[in-house]
Amino acid sequence: MDKNTKFLIVGLGLIGGSYAKTLKKQGFKVAAITKNQEDIDYAVKHNIIDFGTTLIDEKLIKNADIIVFALYPHIFVNWIKENGHLINKNTIITDVTGVKTPIVKKIQNMLPCGVEFIAAHPMAGKETCGVKYSSSSIFKNANYIVVPTEKNTEKAINVCKDLGSVLGFKDISVLSPEAHDEMIAFLSQLTHCIAISLMCANDNPALVRYTGDSFRDLTRIANINDEMWSELFIENKTALLREMDAFKIAFDRLYSTVRDSNREEMRRLMRISTKRRKNFNVKKEC
Window 207 to 246, contacts with a copy of itself (CB under 8 A): 207-224, 226-227, 229-231, 233-234, 237, 240-241, 243-244, 246
Is residue 85 within 8 A of residue 79, CB to CB? The reply is no
Q: Is 285 in the site for a copy of itself (CB under 8 A)?
A: no
Shortest separation between residue 194's beta carbon and a copy of itself, angstroms? 6
Q: How many residues bind a copy of itself (CB under 8 A)?
A: 89
Q: Which of 252, 196, 203, 205 is nearest to 224 (CA)?
A: 196
Q: Closer to a copy of itself at the Cβ: 80 or 145?
A: 145
Of 160-199, binders to a copy of itself (CB under 8 A) are 171, 173, 175, 183, 186-188, 190-199
Say which residues have a Cβ less than 8 Å from residue 113's Cβ, sequence separation at least 6. 89
Shortest separation between residue 122's beta carbon and a copy of itself, angstroms? 9
Cα–Cα distance measured from residue 240 to residue 182, given in angstroms and rounded to the nearest whole number: 8
Cα–Cα distance measured from residue 200 to residue 266, given in angstroms and rounded to the nearest whole number: 26
Burial bucket for residue 214 (CB in 10 Å: 0-12, 13-18, 19+) = exposed
What is the per-residue binding string for a copy of itself in 255-284, x denoting contact by CB under 8 A? x--xx-x-x--xx-xxxxxx-xxxxxxxxx
Q: Closer to a copy of itself at the Cβ: 64 or 175?
A: 175
Of 68-127, binders to a copy of itself (CB under 8 A) are 123-125
Shortest separation between residue 195's beta carbon and a copy of itself, angstroms? 7
Is residue 149 within 8 A of residue 160, CB to CB? The reply is no
Cα–Cα distance measured from residue 158 to residue 28, given in angstroms and rounded to the nearest whole number: 18
Cα–Cα distance measured from residue 284 to residue 280, given in angstroms and rounded to the nearest whole number: 6
Q: Closer to a copy of itself at the Cβ: 56 or 270?
A: 270
Say which residues have a Cβ less than 8 Å from residue 140's Cβ, sequence separation at least 6. 168, 170
Q: Closer to a copy of itself at the Cβ: 4 or 274?
A: 274
Cα–Cα distance measured from residue 268 to residue 67, given in angstroms and rounded to the nearest whole number: 50
Q: Closer to a copy of itself at the Cβ: 82 or 260?
A: 260
Shortest separation between residue 232's beta carbon and a copy of itself, angstroms? 11
Q: Closer to a copy of itself at the Cβ: 11 or 122?
A: 122
Shortest separation between residue 146's beta carbon and a copy of itself, angstroms? 12
Shortest separation between residue 7's beta carbon and a copy of itself, angstroms? 24
CA 67 to chain centre: 16
Shortest separation between residue 132's beta carbon and a copy of itself, angstroms? 17
**Three-state DSSP class for 90?**
coil
